Amino acid sequence: MNLDGLSHNPALNALFRVAPFILLIAVVVVRVRVGKIQLADIGWQRPRSYLAALGWWLPFLAIALGWELLLWSHNDLSLGTFKHTGFAAAIYIVGMILLAPVGEELIFRGLFLNFLTRKLSNAHLAVVAQALVFVAVHNFAWKGDFESNVGVAQTFVDACLFAYARRHTGSIFVPIAMHITGNGIAVAEMLWG
């Protein structure tokens, strides 16, 4: 397959961009089905308390909206505009709002946080370590401009909040909901911008 064709086919380019998340989710599902990963290891269970789950999600929503309003009021909100249309736009939106949060949460706040907690014997150190790795795998982390630095700080804080939500509720569904909310806000900003 000629990779140059990706840049000329928006739908194919979009599929190529979301494919890693589909692959992550598929690998975890297969590993669970063959017994290599236990559902409890990734927190695939109901929250211990729905009130606690709401107690993590609602403040996160308020913080995310407040942060975006603060940046907007200082004209520092610059996610860019959403330039995709048609089927490619649908793929990107599903990828950004659903597939990326599910895939990233299964890996980072599911498997990786569980692994680090066992190896480091310190929950707070495990939370910080997974957050640092989470930031490092995002491409904006290495740009060094103001917007990227804001993104690094915001992503680090989000990753810590997602991890603490996972630990306190016992469920991966809570950080997934928080992550979907944050990415949904970002996509809405790009669509609006």
Phi and psi of 128, rounded to 5°? -65, -45
- Give dist(CA 25, CA 19) in Å, integer: 10
- Give dist(CA 146, CA 71) in Å, integer: 12
The predicted-structure confidence for 102-119, as pLDDT tens digits, reads as follows 999 999 999 999 999 999
Tell me, rounded to whole angstroms, the distance of Cα 23 from its chain centroid: 15
- Give dist(CA 157, CA 88) in Å, integer: 30
C-alpha closest to that of 155 among 184, 179, 119 = 179
52, two tokens: 């606690």
**SS3 of residue 122 by DSSP:** coil
Q: pLDDT-based confidence at 181, cuts 50/70/90?
A: very high
Task: Supply the DSSP symbol for 20.
Answer: H
Cα–Cα distances in angstroms (integers) from residue 52 to residues 40, 57, 90, 143, in the given order: 18, 9, 33, 37
108 and 28 Cβ atoms separated by less than 8 Å: no
Note the pLDDT of residue 151. Answer: 85
If one counts every other C-beta atom within 10 angstroms of the C-beta of residue 36, the result is 11
Q: In this model, does residue 18 exceed pLDDT 60?
A: yes
Q: In this model, does residue 1 exceed pLDDT 50?
A: no
Q: In this model, does residue 29 exceed pLDDT 60?
A: yes
- pLDDT top residue among 124 and 76: 124
Range of weakest confidence among 89-93, 113-117, 189-193: 189-193
One-letter amino acid of 40 = A
Q: In this model, does residue 5 exceed pLDDT 60?
A: no
Helix/strand/coil (H, E, C) string of 123-138?
A: HHHHHHHHHHHHHHCC
Note the pLDDT of residue 193. Answer: 65
